[in-house]
Amino acid sequence: MKCPRCNIALKLEKYRGVEVDKCSGCEGMWLDHPELGELEDKVFDEGLVKGTMRFTSNSGDLLCPTCGKHMHWFRYRHYNLELDFCEEEHGFWLDKGEERRVLEIMEQRGKDLKRSASAEVEWNKFLSNINSKSFLDKVKDLFRG
């Protein structure tokens, strides 16, 4: 398999325990279709729902190293990170450094989801306290003087 950017043969390597095909020239990497999810799982808690990775896509210039068809690109999880992918689901092309951005985004998403879940728990506690008789009695007492 050859690099879609510089046409150099890709070499099989491990990145964070995930088998990827890496280019020694441009340092980009090819991840077979399930491998991007495996990479995300390295920093994302299993119990959390990852959400949609791709909302829309655009036609790109690179050719899939597996089938040779033009790849498309998308904004990864609506962040300012454009990843190339094969519409035949052969995989994803990550330019140098994009693998780190994927991990950073997933770490942040995990923190955001945990914070959101915690806020929802606190909000529900607050709502249940508002509906309690003792809370309403306290509010009434404030106005009675």
Residue-wise pLDDT for 79-121, tens only, equals: 899 999 999 999 999 999 999 999 998 888 878 777 766 677 6
* Domain residue ranges of the chain, discontinuous segments joined by +: 11-144
Q: Which two tokens stand for residue 140?
A: 């009434």
The whole-angstrom separation of Cα 45 and Cα 47 is 6
Instruction: Specify the amino acid at residue 118.
Output: S
Residue-wise pLDDT for 54-77, tens only, equals: 778 899 999 999 999 999 999 998
Nearest to 40 by CA among 87, 88, 90, 81: 81
Higher pLDDT: 7 or 139? It is 7
Could you tell me which residues come within 8 angstroms of residue 87 by beta carbon, excluding any fewer than 6 positions away?
A: 57, 69, 71, 72
In the chain, beta strands by DSSP E: 11-15, 18-22, 29-32, 58-63, 70-75, 82-85, 91-94
Backbone dihedral angles phi then psi of residue 81, each to the nearest 5 degrees: -140, 110
Q: For the whole model, what pTM was predicted?
A: 0.74
Place of tokens 């210039």: 61
Task: Give the number of C-alpha atoms closer than 13 A to the C-alpha of residue 90, restricted to the C-beta side.
Answer: 17
